[in-house]
Amino acid sequence: MAGFMLQMVACSAGNAVEPESLDSVKAAFQKRFADRKVLSVAKTPVKGMYEIVLKGNQVIYSDQKAEYLFIGDLIDVKKNASLTEKRQSELNRIDWSSLPLDLAVKEVRGNGERRLAVFTDPDCPFCKKLEREGLNGVTNVTIYTFLYPLTDLHPDARRKSLQVWCSKDRVAAWSGFMLEGRALSGPTDCANPLDRIKALGEKLGITGTPGLIFGNGQMVAGAIDRSEIEELLNRK
């Protein structure tokens, strides 16, 4: 299973099925893979194939006895539509109103009417790429930057995150460092939300940076380009 390095896959629940059948699929899977937490089991449009959602919103498919597993993209050929994209969007949708925006560095551009939250690490090269390219020129948006240092990868990222948060002008400190490479300075001992943000990111399943959450609740990983950001900002 290559450590269950799963792709983002998806499927539709299909018609109703007896709970006992779904329970038997879950039990069979858990017996074979006890270290994998099953969040849900559902029937798919394909006879004999079941959707299994694992921790982290990873989706795989199985027969009823978990003797055969499938990892991949499920396509509805007649409709020429990806059930993967639809299902993954549902699984990854976040209730925007549940985000503790007071924990973020808030930047208002233009009229600020569109909304974007970014989980980011000051020492992450992809986060710098997002700031310098993807978000460059994007306006009429309020950006909430959640400082999310991945200290296993970037040991100095927490100190830099603290320096940003403890700055008198957090937006200026953040943009100066990320866009211009301006050195951070100042204290690191102020009251800060980093531990709370870490717990929030783990709860939301954010395992890497940057992690973006748009105003409609859609979550996207990675340094996506400006055109995609604009499209997602405008999506209802």
What pLDDT digit, counting tens, does each position of 147-178 carry?
999 999 999 999 999 999 999 999 999 999 99
Mean pLDDT, rounded, for 191-201: 97
The Cβ-side half-sphere exposure at 127, using a 13 Å CA radius, reads 26
- Measured from the Cβ of residue 19, the count of other Cβ atoms closer than 10 Å reads 9
Residue 2: predicted pLDDT: 39
Does 184 score more than 60 pLDDT?
Answer: yes
pLDDT category, 201, cuts 50, 70, 90? Answer: very high
- CATH 3.40.30.10 range(s) for the chain read 96-234
Q: How far is Cα 108 from Cα 4, in angstroms, rounded to an integer?
A: 41
User: What's the whole-number mean pLDDT along residues 60-70?
Assistant: 91
Q: What is the pTM of this model?
A: 0.72
- CATH 3.10.450.70 in the chain, residue ranges: 2-91
Nearest C-alpha neighbor of 195 from the set 101, 95, 103, 116:
103
Q: Tell which wins on pLDDT, 108 or 5.
A: 108
Reference 163, options 190, 187, 143; nearest CA is 187
Contact 226, 136 (CB under 8 A): yes
Contacts of 27 (CB under 8 A, 6+ apart): none
> Is residue 114 within 8 Å of residue 142, measured between CB atoms?
yes
- The closest alpha carbon to 217, from 204, 200, 203, 230, belongs to 204
Question: Looking at the predicted structure, is the pLDDT value of residue 204 above 60?
Answer: yes
Neighbours of 61 (CB within 10 A): 19
> How far apart are the C-alpha atoms of 16 and 165, rounded to whole Å?
50
Q: Name the more confident of 94 and 9.
A: 94
pLDDT-based confidence at residue 116 (cuts at 50, 70, 90):
very high
CATH class of the domain defined by 96-234: alpha beta
- In whole angstroms, what is the distance from residue 166 CA to residue 169 CA? 9
- pLDDT tens for each residue of 11-22: 233 444 466 789
Q: Which residue has the higher pLDDT, 161 or 207?
A: 161
Q: Which residues pair with 144 in a beta bridge?
A: 106, 117
Q: Which residues contact 210 (CB under 8 A, 6 or more apart)?
A: 118, 119, 120, 121, 124, 126, 127, 130, 221, 222, 223
What fold characterizes domain 2-91?
A: Nuclear Transport Factor 2; Chain: A, (3.10.450)
Average pLDDT, the chain: 89
| pLDDT over 90 percentage in the chain | 68
